[in-house]
Amino acid sequence: MRWQTTRFDLDLARPLVMGIVNLTPDSFSDGGRHGDTSQALAQAQRMLEDGAQILDVGGESSRPGAAFVSAAQELERILPFLREAIRWQVPISVDTCKPEVMQVVLDLGVDIINDIWAFRQPGATAVVAAHASCGLCLMHMHREPQTMQLQTMTGDVVPQVQAFLAERIDALLSMGIAASRLVLDPGIGFGKTQAQNFQLLAQQSHLKVLGPPILAGWSRKSTLGAVLSKSGHVPAPDERVCASVAAALLAVQRGANVVRVHDVKETVQALAVWNAMQLQEALT
């Protein structure tokens, strides 16, 4: 299985690690810590040294209740980073839902657009359809960031997510976008309860029938914090590293092709052990 992007035809025979680079002051995990361009570039370089194969850059937080950011402000945050990182010859993804931002970063040469709205904002499909080969990540989100956790999904979550993603695949294919450009994200934490998130993990293989590869984003999520909660104390996001690595590994075991993570080194090490085991299984 492969993923076609602007500059790279990515081999997904083994799971890839996508390192998260936040250029936002209000990210749920590390808001403001790497907001300065030089700090973010240094963080990204460390991620690559630690084994990340893709960098995912965001200039607007999608945490529950996050404030809206204009396209101009988003671009102001991410463009200085992208102008340097695009020269590194590694796949660069931009986490955005705004067509104006998509157009600018694609013109710059970015490889992947990672959209929590699955290209439902007016004009988004037209922008990416006009591009010859950029990779697209379609995520399921219930409601919107400002309200998604105020009224979470009800009922059996897996068929609902499956139906939504199937509809979005059809919409993009109808625009002439090749299926090889698509990756699917079930949207862990985006309008789902703790139980629904784990249902999506347990039954993640049900999404494989849709065709495109799967991207799993469990890193430091509040669902993991709830699992780790003890005597009313919920560990801070940066105290959820082991749980995040465990969730990433479980997702890979259930067919995830890409894992989007904050803690690259730890995830890469865990996957190295998993890959060694897989190799031995194949030989026996």
CA–CA separation, 37 and 91 (whole Å): 18
**Token code pair at residue 152:** 């979470």
pLDDT tens, position by position, 241-276: 999 999 999 999 999 999 999 999 999 999 999 999
Percentage of the residues of the chain whose pLDDT score is greater than 70: 96
pLDDT tens, position by position, 214-231: 999 999 999 999 999 998
Task: Parse the chain into domains and list their residue ranges.
Answer: 2-283
Neighbouring C-beta atoms of residue 278, cutoff 10 Å: 14
> Is the Cβ–Cβ distance between 89 and 117 less than 8 Å?
no
Look up 7 and say whether it is catalytic: no
For the whole model, what pTM was predicted? Answer: 0.94
Catalytic residue among 98, 220, 240, 260: 260
Which of the following CATH numbers is that of domain 2-283: 3.20.20.80, 3.20.20.20, 3.40.50.1240, 3.40.50.450?
Answer: 3.20.20.20
Helices 241-253, 194-202: inter-axial angle, 10-degree rounding: 40
Catalytic residue among 98, 221, 254, 265: 221
Look up 83 and say whether it is catalytic: no
pLDDT tens, position by position, 135-178: 999 999 997 877 767 789 999 999 999 999 999 999 999 999 99
Half-sphere exposure at residue 25, Cβ-oriented, CA atoms within 13 angstroms: 6
CA–CA separation, 125 and 204 (whole Å): 26
Question: Alpha-carbon dihedral of residues 113, 117, 121, 126, nearest 10 degrees?
Answer: 40
Predicted local confidence at residue 284, as pLDDT: 83
Predicted local confidence at residue 238, as pLDDT: 95
CA–CA separation, 102 and 198 (whole Å): 32
Question: Alpha-carbon dihedral of residues 33, 142, 55, 52, nearest 10 degrees?
Answer: 100
pLDDT tens, position by position, 24-41: 885 555 555 545 899 999
CA–CA separation, 51 and 264 (whole Å): 7
User: If you average pLDDT over residues 82-87, what whole number do you get?
Assistant: 98
CA–CA separation, 28 and 112 (whole Å): 23
